[in-house]
A and B are shown apart, each in its own frame.
Chain A
């Protein structure tokens, strides 16, 4: 079986290289046959990588421990779904997963978007170029099909940290996001190569951008959720280099998502949009690189490797080629539109972009700064959570403010009446919220600002929904129907607002972190620990084996005031094959107001147990915000019938011309 896998990967590398050359020659020589052949190469690539992936999955499921990868990441007692997740748990497998997704996306583009005949050869060339890199890594450096001379009787098993449902969703969504940005990037390269630099490439990739952004957002959210329930330190974001690596393309991708609207509407920011998508793609590769290279120490570097220099070279190549092409095309990239006023939606989008890219830059600088310091001063330093929190909080608050201002400023030039109409009431509400919170004893300035701004932005959005619905109601529709139709008829706009509401809830959840309380206690049976209004009584320990682990669970009765509200069972598990690394399984009691989060930190020989108990306010709102963000993206993504008809009309008119 491994031979089939190896052969498929080797052929995939050859096909990628062939596809790259054929597409470029086909475009350069205007040879339709070569272009056609490049198209077919995309299908062949997908087929080959599907075969390779199927072989790997087969070997994983059938426990072919002769395969080094299978022996490293599975064991006989691993459940079916975690066995499947081993596909992306290790380095070689995850590279195969990356390449397979890319080939799948390439196939989808060739199949569905073949109408972009001029752009397509360069799109294929970019996809194939990227695929060449990944398939070469698979074929020459990090093969998922390497054989062991003597197959062990059982594998080493999946890292217990990865045995969590979150890990079934987090890496695939993260990778879908990373890989997805290849497609808008490929179209951008094609637009530059063909000098078709109007908004054609942006329209062609709007959905790809949105989908990639959606998956990247989901990937980050699933990652946060996994960290929260599995890593067991009471938080969800530690500013770990790999977390930062996922945030950076998300930030630049978000900027891109917004600034393309300016190009579509006003034919401006052409160069900027190209820069943003190049950066986003490079950062997506950088993210994969950080996860898999181990160049910066991280909780995610589950495998150290020699991939670092190769990834670095590839990123350098991407940047050099892209920016050289961009420089050569500058004369064709003059904007047709002009700015009418600095107080307009266009201008506010510039500031939105500035803040998003500034945030990405600050995260980048902080992430690589330990390397800079060591190179320049020869002194090792650390750049951890306190740094990122301090530097990024003001930037985050500015972003929140701009999120409130941007969507409601008028295009071209905002009048005083426009400002008053849209912002007076929300501004007053935000201020009122700040005062009420202060009176309730909330004196933390950052949290106060975040909550007040959240109220302000929410009010601007609700006000806009309300006005739109009232207009429809004036035409005889009942209010709820008017509200529903309003969203459905303007999916892009109102979907975007729903995403914003989701982001506000995320911010509110983060601001809630300022009021986190924590207690540590060593308890004997029957003793209690109190935190805020809760009292937890330790009832005792129980121990039992499961197929893969020995579980030690503590039982705690939770009282809210004097009233018992539930039982929590934090655990400490020793997984077979990972005896030196006991795992904590936290117990969480979630309400809309706060999470009670209990960690079983240690067990004494006398039957006592030590606990860390944390109250995390507003955590649930983060997850609700994430769900709302997803819902909004789906609304914005959903095709609009009229838009489809208009697009067809444009196509027909174009065909006649």
Chain B
């Protein structure tokens, strides 16, 4: 059974790799201007103060949003690439128009900080884990050599001396 299961896994893995290598941009040519605008709307912050992207601004009527979307549409229709559109909007509204901060300078802390922390945590767990697994049977530390009840009584007695 086992070799059969293994060979099945290998076969399945092979098929997966083959399918993954297929080009996935077949329908890119058919994308409409609207689809590009919708996509870009998720990348820029609405300037109405809602603190959300153009795609998720919650105001049913929102002048700033409509103006920006119209501008983006005009740029897309003029054949600008998303990178060029980004430059235009950043020049106009400042860096805060980007829904995700550009990956440079201080912003790298936000982008990579979580992963660095996770990596550090994993290293700590592995090191600690290794030392815990190697450690001989635990030597009872002085405070824990007492039962909780004894400890309570001791605390009580000591407290009497404190007063």
Contact = CB atoms under 8 A, between A and B. Distances in A.
Contacts of B100: 382-384, 386-387, 390
Interface in B37-93: 38, 42-43, 45, 49-53, 55-61
Nearest to B156: A30
Given A196-B152, A235-B56, A339-B132, A365 B110 contact: yes
A581 B60 contact: yes
A298 B106 CA distance: 24
Contacts of A347: 125, 129
Nearest to B18: A438
Interface string A169-203: 00000000000000000000000001110101000
Interface stretch (A96-104, A140-148, A330-338, A492-500): A330-338
Interface string A550-590: 00000000000000000000001000000001111000000
Interface in B117-139: 117-118, 121-122, 125-126, 129-130, 132-133, 135, 137-138
Interface residues of A, number: 80
A336 B110 contact: no
Given A299-B52, A342-B133, A382-B99, A439 B19 contact: yes
The residue in A296, A336, A355, A369 that gathers the most chain B C-beta atoms within 10 A of its C-beta is A369
A647 to B, nearest CB: 16
Contacts of A335: 138
Contact of A340 (B43, B101, B133): B133
B99 A354 contact: no
Nearest to A340: B133
A247 to B, nearest CB: 14
B16 interface: yes
Interface stretch (A16-24, A424-432, A637-645): A424-432
Contact of A338 (B57, B94, B106, B138): B138
Interface residues of B, number: 68
A582 B61 contact: yes
A37 interface: no
A200 B16 contact: no
Nearest to A573: B60
The residue in A332, A351, A384, A427 that gathers the most chain B C-beta atoms within 10 A of its C-beta is A384
Contact of B101 (A238, A381, A443): A381
B129 A339 contact: yes
A438 B110 contact: no
Interface string A66-108: 0000000000000000000000000000000000000000000
B143 interface: yes
Contact of B130 (A342, A354, A434): A342
A350 B53 contact: no
B114 A582 contact: no
Given A240-B52, A434-B16, A29 B163 contact: yes
A385 interface: yes
A231 interface: yes
A428 to B, nearest CB: 6
A376 interface: yes
Interface in A484-533: 518-520
Given A338-B133, A354-B125, A443 B34 contact: no
Interface string A593-610: 000000001000000000
A657 B149 contact: yes
A493 to B, nearest CB: 24
Contact of B51 (A299, A342, A361): A299
Interface string B1-36: 000010011001101100110101000000000100
A297 B122 contact: no
Given A297-B49, A297-B51, A354-B122, A382 B60 contact: no
A235 B155 CA distance: 57
Interface in A192-238: 194-196, 198, 200, 231-233, 235, 238
B155 A195 contact: yes
Contacts of A296: 51
A123 B74 CA distance: 63
A582 B60 contact: yes
Nearest to A27: B159
Contact of A30 (B61, B99, B141, B159): B159
A572 B59 CA distance: 12
A432 B129 contact: no
Interface string B141-163: 10110001101100110010001
Interface string B94-116: 11111111000111011101100
A361 B113 CA distance: 9
A380 B8 contact: no
Given A231-B58, A233-B55, A233-B58, A331 B96 contact: no
A373 interface: yes
A392 B19 CA distance: 26
B94 A232 contact: no
A435 interface: yes
A540 interface: no
Contacts of B42: 385-386
Given A233-B55, A382-B96, A520-B34, A572 B60 contact: yes
B52 A238 contact: yes
Given A240-B51, A438-B20, A355 B118 contact: yes
Nearest to A384: B99
A332 B146 CA distance: 11
Nearest to B102: A381
Contacts of B121: 354, 357-358
Counting from the closest, the 4 A-B pairs by CB-CB distance are: A362-B114, A384-B99, A387-B100, A297-B51
6 contacts: A195-B143, A297-B50, A358-B114, A362-B114, A365-B110, A369-B101
Interface of B: 5, 8-9, 12-13, 15-16, 19-20, 22, 24, 34, 38, 42-43, 45, 49-53, 55-61, 94-101, 105-107, 109-111, 113-114, 117-118, 121-122, 125-126, 129-130, 132-133, 135, 137-138, 141, 143-144, 148-149, 151-152, 155-156, 159, 163
